[in-house]
Amino acid sequence: MKKKQTTILAAVLVVLCVFAGILYLNFKPETTAGSKEISVKVIHADQSEKDFTYHTDAEYLGEVLLDEKLVDGEDSEYGLFVTTVDGETADDSKQQWWCLTKDGETVNTGVDQTPIADGEHYELTLVEGY
């Protein structure tokens, strides 16, 4: 009886894993192949702003920002944790962090998981307080 329950449980687990994989493939953010132009506005702690325009074939924002050496950070289990943008490093003692937005709206993915398309506008703002 116990062997039968274990077999059924294993089969259910496999089905759930396959279902989760199908859901991920259907709902993951779409990428755009080919040449595109994006702009990135950096808003520093002193509220000064600097605009950057990039022409790229990359499909994800993080690829562009790292290739152009605009950002630096630490790899984590959740992707790239941006610590430095345009030469300014967030100060943990002041609870500073870099916030990624797209056209002023919060982005729910990290920079290396954010797909890009031609003509998009992003902002990286140094925010204080968690």
Q: 53-77, pLDDT tens digit by residue?
A: 999 999 999 999 999 999 999 998 8
Contact (CB, 8 A) for 96 and 74: no
> 22 versus 76: which is more confidently predicted?
76
- Residue 117, SS3? coil
Report the share of the chain in percent with pLDDT over 90: 69
Q: Extract the tokens encoding 4.
A: 């039968």
Alpha-carbon distances of 121 from 42, 100, 114, rounded to whole Å: 11, 11, 12
| Whether residue 105 has pLDDT greater than 60 | yes
| Whether residue 12 has pLDDT greater than 70 | no
Rounded to whole angstroms, how far apart are CA atoms 119 and 48?
Answer: 23
Residue linked to tokens 């062997």 = 3
Please return the burial class of 98, using the count of CB atoms within 10 Å of its CB with bins 0-12, 13-18 and 19+. buried
Rounded to whole angstroms, how far apart are CA atoms 128 and 27?
Answer: 33
Q: Which pLDDT belongs to residue 56?
A: 95
- Asked which of 19-33, 73-87, 99-113 is least confident by mean pLDDT, the reply is 19-33
The secondary structure of residue 120, as a DSSP letter, is: -
Phi, psi (rounded to 5 degrees) for 66: -75, -45
